[in-house]
Amino acid sequence: MKLLELTESGLFCPAAGIYIDPWRTVDRAVVTHAHSDHSRWGMKHYLAHHHSVEVMRLRLGKEISLQTVDYNQPLVINGVKISLHPAGHIPGSAQVRLEHKGKVAVVSGDYKVENDGLSTPFESVKCHEFVSECTFGLPIYKWESQSNIFNQINSWWRSNEAEGKNTVLFAYSLGKAQRILQNLDQSIGSVFVHGAIWNTNQALIANGIDIWDVPKVTSDLAKSAFKGSLIIAPPSAMGTPWMRRFSPYRTGICSGWMAVRGARRRRAADRGFVLSDHADWEGLVTAITASEAEKVYLTHGNTASFGRFLQEERGIDAVELKTLFGEEEES
């Protein structure tokens, strides 16, 4: 019996009778993290890291049946040893380790190897089979250090404030928005967040995550309240009437896709900052090499080209898997 197989409902471990990040309704789902392409509504029972509890309940409903564990806290189901290990993607993100009859498989979910100071840092887990994303699986994707990016963001905000412009920064509401909050220079001005981000912040705070609790944008706030401020909003707010209250303003986008020439211009933003919660090319290669896996399954992104590189340059048996992951708002 295979330790892992791909079914029409998602990745399945037959011996344990569990699915990892399934996209169709199943009885038992192990969830790597709370982003909507990995944590979907309708499962009868969920298992996740305890830092995901409040966000999953916010997004999926208070009534879901949810069991949580800490990192490196093993469970045994039908003889399969299951444990969660840090993925470094967002708070509560985890790699799922499965061990059965001497074989070990790891489903990494989404991950990054740089310590962002907010998520529990990525932990390499040795295995025979490794399931990896490759969202940014091309050599052109090479991230600058986080400190450099935030120096750029704070400098830009300071410049906007000096010119009498407000600053609107677009970032995914779970993970990236909180990462930005933790690295802003609070001496420059006030900070506000979109309601969707504020709700996520409150869920994370309730879960014991230490983040800066800033006010949300509300209709009763005077326009003068935003003078010189920085506002963080999800990309879905771009170009909507909600933006009018901040005029005059400049806009910026935080995404790994900003590494591609013309991406910022296509999104009609004033600035683009290359900030991603996914591993870059070197991060992917580092994680896969450290796993010592004999076989690697690639789930989404540049699967074909990255798979060829692993086979031809590293001698690793790499296989593409057609999944429904990778539908996040921004990367």
Q: Which two tokens stand for residue 66?
A: 């949810």
Shared domain check, 70 and 16: yes
DSSP reduced 3-state for 136: coil
Tens digits of per-residue pLDDT, 98-114? 999 999 999 999 999 99
Q: What CATH number has the domain bearing residue 170?
A: 3.40.50.12650
Asked if residue 329 is part of any domain, the answer here is no
Share of the chain above pLDDT 90, in %: 92
Q: Which two tokens stand for residue 86?
A: 């840090």
Domain residue limits at 114: 5-140+278-320
- The alpha-helical segments, DSSP class H, found in the chain are 53-60, 146-162, 176-181, 195-206, 263-266, 281-291, 303-314
Burial classification of residue 190, based on how many CB atoms lie within 10 Å of its CB (0-12 exposed, 13-18 middle, 19 or more buried): middle
**What is the C-alpha end-to-end distance of the chain, expressed in Å?**
35
DSSP 125: -
Distances (CA, A) of 69 to 100, 118, 143, 159, 327: 20, 19, 32, 45, 26
**Candidate from 147-156, 171-180, 210-219, 266-275 with smallest mean pLDDT:** 266-275
Span 150-170, mean pLDDT?
98
Asked if residue 330 is part of any domain, the answer here is no
Query: Which candidate, 260, 234, 253, places its Cα nearest to that of 149?
Result: 253
Q: Which two tokens stand for residue 44?
A: 């009868």
Asked if residue 218 is part of any domain, the answer here is yes
Spatial strand order of the sheet with 94-100 comes to 75-77, 80-86, 94-100, 103-107, 129-134, 295-301, 317-320
Asked if residue 310 is part of any domain, the answer here is yes
Number of domains in the chain: 2
What pLDDT is stored for residue 267 in this prediction?
72
Q: What CATH number has the domain bearing residue 47?
A: 3.60.15.10
DSSP 99: E
Asked if residue 163 is part of any domain, the answer here is yes
Query: Which candidate, 279, 277, 271, places its Cα nearest to that of 154?
Result: 271
Tens digits of per-residue pLDDT, 210-239? 999 999 999 999 999 999 999 999 999 999
* 141 or 301, greater pLDDT: 141
